[in-house]
């Protein structure tokens, strides 16, 4: 790492320059300037073919790939990647090189006695009620509803408008498509993928692609 200049705001880099990264850019800019001890410094992305800030309007530049980027000692990064496998790989590349930023939108509602891990992203409109445990590097997209006593394993991703009812337990690396619902006290195995709009009414002990209403196994993983 390179030495930093003291008494300056920390540079915050968005990791992932595709559509979700551009959404995170908007949510970060909603934070009042007087509340920020950071400034957005740009994007990094390992995929040169990403249809993101190169092809769509953005206020910030693509700095390069993860391997090519020289991080300052007090740089921060926010992980704007939804796919759990890719997210896990990217975090492994970044560990020891840069500090991870946990972003909780001020437009979300976070209740009491919750535990939220390192590098988590919680987008606007989400409600996290009480006694919820969210592991590290979890992505919670817009307008999700996470009920009491829920456990969300590390590297999992909840897309827009997902509902996790009270007592639900997700393993690590679980992906839930937009508007999917998990009913109370259900457990989902690590590595599972829940399809868009699915309604999960029973537990799944082995990793699988799960889809439908009621949700069924489409294929084992």
* Higher pLDDT among residues 54 and 121, named by residue: 121
Whether residue 218 is predicted with pLDDT greater than 80 in this model: the reply is yes
Do residues 19 and 33 both lie within one domain?
Answer: yes
Name the one residue in this structure whose structure tokens are 């953005």: 58
pTM: 0.93
Write the burial class of residue 94 (CB in 10 Å: 0-12 exposed, 13-18 middle, 19+ buried).
buried
Q: pLDDT category, 2, cuts 50, 70, 90?
A: very low
In a domain, 138, yes or no: yes
Q: For the chain, how big is the Rg over CA atoms in Å?
A: 18
Do residues 109 and 175 both lie within one domain?
Answer: yes
Dihedrals φ, ψ of 199, to 5°?
Answer: -120, 110
Domain that holds residue 141: 104-205
* pLDDT at residue 4, rounded to an integer: 47
User: Are the beta carbons of 118 and 100 closer than 8 angstroms?
Assistant: yes
Do residues 95 and 118 both lie within one domain?
Answer: no
What whole-number percentage of the chain has pLDDT above 90?
90
pLDDT in tens, 49-96: 666 667 788 999 999 999 999 999 999 999 999 999 999 999 999 999
pLDDT in tens, 125-150: 999 999 999 999 999 999 999 999 99
Write the burial class of residue 214 (CB in 10 Å: 0-12 exposed, 13-18 middle, 19+ buried).
exposed
Work out the average pLDDT over 10-16: 97
Closest-CA residue to 169 (of 155, 189, 154):
189
In a domain, 37, yes or no: yes
* pLDDT at residue 55, rounded to an integer: 79
Work out the average pLDDT over 190-199: 98
Other residues' Cβ atoms within 10 Å of the Cβ of residue 5: 7
Do residues 20 and 92 both lie within one domain?
Answer: yes
Do residues 61 and 118 both lie within one domain?
Answer: no
């Amino acid at each position: 790492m390179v030495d930093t200049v003291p008494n300056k705001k920390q540079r915050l880099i968005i990791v992932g320059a595709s559509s979700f990264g551009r959404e995170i850019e908007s949510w970060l800019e909603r934070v009042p300037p007087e509340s920020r001890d950071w400034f957005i410094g740009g994007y990094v992305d390992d995929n040169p073919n990403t249809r993101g800030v190169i092809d769509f309007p953005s206020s910030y530049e693509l700095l390069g790939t993860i391997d090519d980027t020289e991080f300052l000692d007090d740089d921060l990064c926010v992980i704007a990647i939804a796919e759990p496998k890719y997210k896990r790989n990217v975090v492994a590349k970044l560990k020891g090189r840069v500090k991870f930023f946990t972003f909780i939108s001020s437009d979300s509602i976070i209740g009491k006695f919750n535990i939220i891990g390192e590098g988590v992203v919680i987008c606007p409109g989400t409600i996290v009620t009480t006694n919820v445990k969210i592991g590290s590097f979890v992505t919670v997209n817009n307008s999700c509803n996470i009920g009491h006593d829920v456990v969300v394993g590390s590297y999992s991703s909840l897309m827009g408008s997902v509902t996790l009812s009270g007592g639900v337990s997700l393993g690590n690396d679980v992906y839930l498509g937009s508007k999917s619902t998990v009913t109370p006290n259900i457990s989902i195995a690590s590595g599972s993928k829940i399809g868009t709009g699915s309604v999960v009414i029973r537990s799944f002990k082995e990793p699988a692609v799960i889809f439908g209403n009621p949700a069924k196994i489409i294929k084992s993983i």
